[in-house]
Amino acid sequence: NAGVMQNPRHLVRRRGQEARLRCSPMKGHSHVYWYRQLPEEGLKFMVYLQKENIIDESGMPKERFSAEFPKEGPSILRIQQVVRGDSAAYFCASSPERVRDEKLFFGSGTQLSVL
Amino acid sequence: GQQLNQSPQSMFIQEGEDVSMNCTSSSIFNTWLWYKQDPGEGPVLLIALYKAGELTSNGRLTAQFGITRKDSFLNISASIPSDVGIYFCAGPPQGGSEKLVFGKGTKLTVNP
């Protein structure tokens, strides 16, 4: 009964490189949410996806950031040409349906460090 | 956008003490959620509140949904070392949304 799996747990990138963060939702969950957490801050919503569809990307920066959740495989959050300000913990959450709060399960996150 | 303000920012207590923290908003929330985050981990839901005035317990934790719908409180009784972590309040903005708004958290340290 695996939970939400995120990898890598830690990712170091130099400025200008690309970062790819992966999230495998819990079995049977078809809804994925990405949140970002800056140091000493709460989580901030980025994007909500269902299989093959982006439902709400209102929290995601318009440039350099993209997300997908293909029919097969994990959800990917992609950050192109990373900058130091992208350094943060990125959390993925999944739910079996449009979120009913107690059914939202978070992964352990990917800590992105940009040098 | 809607914001959640948590206080205190941090607390240092002795094992066995009771803890109280709160969360306020300038606008109404119809659901209040309390999460705990351990270092290096994602948040885990502790308590969900859906009704104004509701008081809900989960073991040594008790949370209340404020009557005005603009605040919520979390109490921890007889704290133990494993209560250490960051406690976040969160809720979906008005109108119903998949997007949760989170407070900045209350960092709890428990001295054995």
Residue A71 backbone zone (phi > 0: left; psi -120 to 50: alpha; other: beta): alpha
Q: Tell me the mean pLDDT in the region A45-50.
A: 94
Instruction: Using the Cα atoms of residue B10, residue B11, residue B15 and residue B17 in order, give the sign of their dihedral.
Output: negative
Distance in Å from the first CA to the final CA of chain A? 36
Q: Which residues does residue B13 pair with via DSSP β-bridges, in sequence order?
A: B110
Percent of chain A surpassing pLDDT 90:
76
* Amino acid of residue A25: P
Percent of chain B surpassing pLDDT 90:
79
d(CA B96, CA B67): 19
Q: Is A40 in contact with B103 (Cβ distance < 8 A)?
A: no
**CB-based contact, B46 to chain A, within 8 Å:** no
| DSSP secondary structure code for residue B55 in this structure | E
Banded model confidence at residue A102, pLDDT cuts 50, 70, 90:
low
Distance in Å from the first CA to the final CA of chain B? 40
- For residue B92, the chain A residue with the least C-alpha distance is A101
Q: In the predicted model, what is the mean pLDDT of chain B?
A: 92
Q: Is B40 in contact with A108 (Cβ distance < 8 A)?
A: yes
Q: How far is CA A66 from CA A5, A6, A49, B2, B80, in A?
A: 19, 17, 11, 25, 42
Rounded to a whole number of angstroms, the CA Rg of chain A reads 13
pLDDT in tens, A3-35: 999 999 999 999 999 999 999 999 888 899 999
Tokens found for residue B23: 């969360």
Q: In the predicted model, what is the mean pLDDT of chain A?
A: 92
Helix, strand, coil percentages for chain A (3-state, nearest 5): 5, 50, 45
**CB-based contact, B90 to chain A, within 8 Å:** yes
Q: Is the pLDDT of residue B84 over 90?
A: yes
Q: Is the pLDDT of residue A97 over 80?
A: no
Q: Is A42 in contact with B102 (Cβ distance < 8 A)?
A: yes
